[in-house]
Structure 1
Amino acid sequence: MFPLRIAALVAAVLATGLTAGVFYAYAISVMPALNRSDDRTIVDVMQKINVVIINPWFMIAFLGAVGFAVLAAVLHLGKEHRATLIWIGIALALNVIAFAVTAGFNVPLNDQLAAAGDPAQIADMAAVRADYESAWVRYNVIRAVVHTMAFLVLCGAMFAAGVQQGKSQAVGSGATQGVAAFAAPAGFGAPHAAAHRLGRFAE
């Protein structure tokens, strides 16, 4: 069961890290570069990005940040995994918050930009940009920070899971040694008793 729990936790860490990385890249490179571009360029480029980013590679990471965290939490139910479960629960809450920011703010802004139509046909490009850019950048920074926090917390969960597994193995090893030590005298008891009886017979 331990390998399955760790596999789910690793998947949650990886998905969360990749998602945070995508939004981080937007925040430090894509959007600052587009900010230096003219109105038509930013509208045209973001319309295209918002189409191509809906692909399996991104969606597995984006949805997996929440989905794999839920799976990891379910697999760590039980008082013996409580320490790890607390870490996972915090990370899951953070991922849900970041997901809500994307769904509640960034996606509607993307839809609004798409509804503006072909950039070649937009009459007031500056207004379209003004309604989109600053708000989208602000919410992107928020979700990038929250996903990054979730990633760090999930790393803490992996550490906690490792510590818990080490303690479990130590307890199991100690119990095995205790049983062996207790059983050893019993094993030697029969020959000793037989020798004692033979000694008495010889007398």
Structure 2
Amino acid sequence: MITFALKLFAALGCGLIAGVFFAFSTFVMSALARLQTAQGIAAFQSINITVYNPWFMGAFLGTASTCIFLAVSSLLKWQQHGAAYLLVGSLLYLAGTVGVTILFNVPLNDALAVVDPGSADGASLWSRFVPNWTFWNHVRTIAALAAAAVFAISLGDRYL
């Protein structure tokens, strides 16, 4: 019963995070890019501050914690039917979503956080930031959605 609950939580968490990232990939970044450069930078700087809240971080890190637990559990029970689904789903989320966030999106966010929105350096950074950040956001969107799908598949098999 606990394994079912953890798989359900992982599927829902991955899907929720995929939805947040999907929104950024499909319209938020486009809307920010349409603003005057200084306004776009200032808006994204504000987003970077407000993203650190209990709701988003709880979903993002709570899902990661669940995936770590399920990955370890799958390795310890590798002979059991369905262990591969748990490992693959967990790795998709941990590497493709959390890993990409840490390695690519956060450093881009950090660089943008210290730039003056009205400066020439800010404009130069913004012109590179939007396509680069969006590309890596697409990657983590796809990874989180794929992880949600794998966990959903694992829920549908009573032997998993």
TM-score, scaled to structure 2: 0.89
- Correspondent of 1:53 among 51, 54, 59: 51
Moved more, 70-79 or 28-37: 70-79
Relative to its length, the structure with more helix (as a share) is 1
List aligned pairs for 1:79-90, cutoff 5 A: 82-90=80-88
1:108 counterpart residue number: 107
TM-score, scaled to structure 1: 0.72
2:139 counterpart residue number: 142
Q: Which one-letter code corresponds to 1:44 in the other structure?
A: A
1:19 counterpart residue number: 17
2:125 counterpart residue number: 128
How large is the Cα RMSD of the aligned pairs? 1.8
Contact residue 16 and residue 65 of structure 1 kept, 8 A: yes
Contact residue 93 and residue 143 of structure 2 kept, 8 A: yes
**What is the SS of the residue equivalent to 1:88?**
helix
Equivalent residues, number: 158
- Correspondent of 1:31 among 25, 29, 32: 29
Q: Which runs of 5+ in 1 are unaligned?
A: 166-203
* CA positional deviation for 1:63: 1.3
**What is the SS of the residue equivalent to 1:83?**
coil
1:192 counterpart residue number: none
Whole-angstrom CA distance in 2 between matches of 1:70 and 1:124: 40
What percent identity do the matched residue pairs reach?
32
* CA positional deviation for 1:71: 2.4
